[in-house]
Amino acid sequence: MARNLITVFLSLHMCFQLPTLKALVQEEEWDYLVLAQFWPSSSCVYFKESDCVPPQVHNWTIHGLWPSDRATSKQPENCNKSMNFNYDEIKPLRPDLDLYWPYFNKSSKDRTSLWAHEWDKHGTCAYSLPTLRGEFVYFTQVLKLYHQQDLIGALAKANIVPSDSKQYNINDIFNAVNSIYGTSPVISCVTDTKEHYLAEIWLCFEKNLTRADCEESAQYHVASDQHRAERRPYLKFRSEKEQVVTKGKKFVDCPSDLVWYKPITTIYL
Ligand SMILES: *[C@@H]1O[C@H](CO)[C@@H](O)[C@H](O)[C@H]1NC(C)=O
Ligand SMILES: *[C@@H]1O[C@H](CO)[C@@H](O)[C@H](O)[C@H]1NC(C)=O
Ligand SMILES: *[C@@H]1O[C@H](CO)[C@@H](O)[C@H](O)[C@H]1NC(C)=O
Ligand SMILES: *[C@@H]1O[C@H](CO)[C@@H](O)[C@H](O)[C@H]1NC(C)=O
């Protein structure tokens, strides 16, 4: 009798244990990295600010480096709560972070909140890779990888330069980046009530940091359209025609033709 009870107890225990262990392992599964960069003046459109670019920022800036999984087209998130963001660890990097990894939300008083978000959500998921393990190491490596890219230069080689008067075809932007790096990016746009702006370019890397094609199915945070509309109310203004390329693929929230790539002229303190 006693032995049977123990057996029952053990089986129940196993039942509850196994799925937990499995879930933990699955959550950490990833096989490539997405380096996402913002075009600052388009970020102001996103935040509905006319001027949101900090001084000294004249270039593409870092959004984040995201462990991602080809098989599931997903990104693991918030992988280890016991590793929550600790500003003191990256304090020595502050001057570089302000320049190359700024947060454009003017109504947020906390300049560290993008870093906290990126670390908690994505950085903690890169733990399995020694070259990205730990907060200081992760931020240092992301800055290093960012400096090895030069999107403004890559686009300029195809005569795609920031302009207040000329719009660019989204396919030309894709082809320019694709031909310079030899791998396909994912490009995303923001849209106000009528205009479209080049918002982000994602470049992808293997775990050893050699270049990789971005997965065309990569979805922006794998969010549903409903969730995206809530996060970005202006999406509600899009017409059906403008949504042609919305479903992940090479473009996210981009129109099929022309977008603005406006100069960074605005400054706030
Ligand atoms: C989570 O983080 C803690 C503290 O850094 C570490 O000791 C532990 O090994 C991590 N767990 C996993 C599953 O990565
Ligand atoms: C900007 O920051 C404010 C204050 O923290 C926050 O309430 C708001 O949601 C942020 N905006 C976006 C679009 O994330
Ligand atoms: C923009 O940043 C990249 C990466 O650090 C760098 O190679 C490039 O020279 C910068 N261009 C300008 C115009 O600041
Ligand atoms: C980097 O990783 C990829 C994918 O695993 C592999 O094909 C490639 O040979 C590796 N390159 C180097 C230099 O290790």
Q: What is the pLDDT of residues 26-42, one digit of tens each?
A: 446 899 999 999 999 99
Q: Are 214 and 202 a contacting pair, CB within 8 Å?
A: yes
Return mean pLDDT, the chain. Answer: 79
Percent of the chain whose predicted confidence (pLDDT) is above 70: 75
Q: Please name the amino acid found at residue 226.
A: Q
- Tell me the average pLDDT across 205-210: 97
Q: Which of 89, 122, 230, 242 is catalytic?
A: 122
Q: Which of 118, 200, 215, 242 is catalytic?
A: 118
Task: Give pLDDT tens digits for 62-102.
Answer: 999 999 988 877 789 999 999 999 999 999 999 999 999 99
Residues 6+ apart with CB under 8 A from 262: 41, 42, 162, 163, 164, 197
CA distance 6 to 9: 5
The verdict on the CB of residue 99 being under 6 Å from ligand 3 is: no
Q: Which ligand is nearest to the CA of 123?
A: 1
Q: Which of 27, 63, 135, 216 is catalytic?
A: 63
* Residue 63 is among the residues annotated as catalytic for this protein: yes
Residue nearest to atom 2 of ligand 2 (CA): 108
Closest ligand 2 atom to Cα of 105: 1
Query: Residue 38: which of 62, 67, 64, 65 has the closest Cα?
Result: 62
Using only the alpha carbons of the chain, give its radius of gyration.
21
* Residue 89 is among the residues annotated as catalytic for this protein: no
Query: Residue 180: which of 209, 159, 199, 208 has the closest Cα?
Result: 159
Q: Are 101 and 62 a contacting pair, CB within 8 Å?
A: yes
Q: Are 68 and 229 a contacting pair, CB within 8 Å?
A: no
Tokens of 98: 């302000």
- Tell me the average pLDDT across 240-251: 43
DSSP 197: E
* Residue 196 is among the residues annotated as catalytic for this protein: no
pLDDT band at 216 (very low <50, low <70, confident <90, very high): low
The verdict on the CB of residue 150 being under 6 Å from ligand 3 is: yes
Choice from 208, 211, 213 to test ligand 4 binding pocket (greatest atom count within 8 A of CB): 208
